[in-house]
Amino acid sequence: MSLRLSLVGLAAGLAFAAASPVLAAEAGPKPPAQSWSFSGPFGKFDQAQLQRGFKVAKEVCASCHAMSLIRFRNLSQPGGPGFTPSQVAALAATYTNIKDGPNESGEMFERPGRPADAFPAPFPNEQAARAANGGAYPPPIDMLAKARTYTRGFPTFIFDIFTQYQENGPDYIVALLTGYKDPPKDFPPLLPGQNYNTYMPGHLIAMPKPLNDGQVEYPKGPDGKSPVPETVEQYAKDVTAFMMWMAEPHLEARKRLGFQVMLFLALFAGLLYFTKKKIWSRLPEHASTH
């Protein structure tokens, strides 16, 4: 027991003593700030962008990454990509091998997907995912927009309270998805399964460059062309917006209610201020000022 305790202690000690300077030293450049439709106090998701982002996520990301916190029905709920319930039901039904059961004879069986089902994961478990990806685990992407960040530093993080900057995660993800470059000349040679990325801490990432120009076909406008370019930059922004929605599906409702609450509290505070002044003016030390 004593050995175990010291080992855990050692691990914990190493964690905050040794690993953090490594991170600090190897952290990449700061991701550039993108403009997001969902930033700021009145932010809303861009439905067309979420639909495009969902297409990228489904056709590219979902072959390795799970997004099982999302259920098909979420895709038609308010504040989301705005698919219709029938579109969602049709989409769910295209997944024909949803495992269910046991049935009356005690057998597990497969059936087509329903809107209430979670988005099927590409691998049954982490070990299977690692085995298929050269030992690296593709993390679920449903929470990633909130689970990734970068250091803002002093005093920027204080200004962020007032500017409401909180898109650290999305900015980092866009930078990462578009940050695949050839390593600099003095960089140690890459091993098999390693890729160079400008924005990954330590620059080594197991995920190969996931997006390429023209890889995903976007819905066409009336002129027969996609209204947005089919480029890596656009794919990265769209899929990241979709990831932000997956991480925070009630973001629009939160900001909308927030404005109402702030307005109410500000008015209430104003009324209380004058009520307080009125009541305290009965006292002689305040009477002279009225």
Instruction: Decide: is 15 part of the binding site for another protein (CB under 8 A).
Output: yes
Residue 47's closest CA among 83, 88, 72? Answer: 83
Distance of alpha carbon 61 from alpha carbon 116, whole angstroms: 21
- Cα end-to-end distance, the chain, whole Å: 74
3-class DSSP state for residue 271? helix
Q: Which of residues 61-80 bind another protein (CB under 8 A)?
A: 69, 74
Among 49, 51, 76, 168, binds another protein (CB under 8 A): 168
Q: Which of residues 172-201 bind another protein (CB under 8 A)?
A: 201
Instruction: Decide: is 19 part of the binding site for another protein (CB under 8 A).
Output: yes
Nearer to another protein, 23 or 214 (CB): 23
Q: Which stretch binds another protein (CB under 8 A): 22-30, 45-53, 175-183, 204-212?
A: 22-30
Residue 75's closest CA among 63, 64, 62, 90? Answer: 90
Nearer to another protein, 19 or 110 (CB): 19
Nearer to another protein, 15 or 90 (CB): 15
Smallest separation, CB 79 to another protein (Å): 11
Structure tokens at 249: 């599906």
Distance of alpha carbon 143 from alpha carbon 161, whole angstroms: 22
Decide: 252 and 80 in contact? Cβ < 8 Å.
no
Among 80, 115, 169, 179, binds another protein (CB under 8 A): 169
Instruction: Decide: is 128 part of the binding site for another protein (CB under 8 A).
Output: no
104 contacts: CB under 8 Å, gap ≥ 6: none
Distance of alpha carbon 38 from alpha carbon 53, whole angstroms: 14
Q: Which residues pair with 98 in a beta bridge?
A: 111
266 contacts: CB under 8 Å, gap ≥ 6: none
Among 182, 285, 289, 290, binds another protein (CB under 8 A): 285
Nearer to another protein, 86 or 151 (CB): 151
Among 29, 32, 41, 221, binds another protein (CB under 8 A): 41
- Binding pattern to another protein, positions 89-118, x when CB under 8 A? ------------------------------
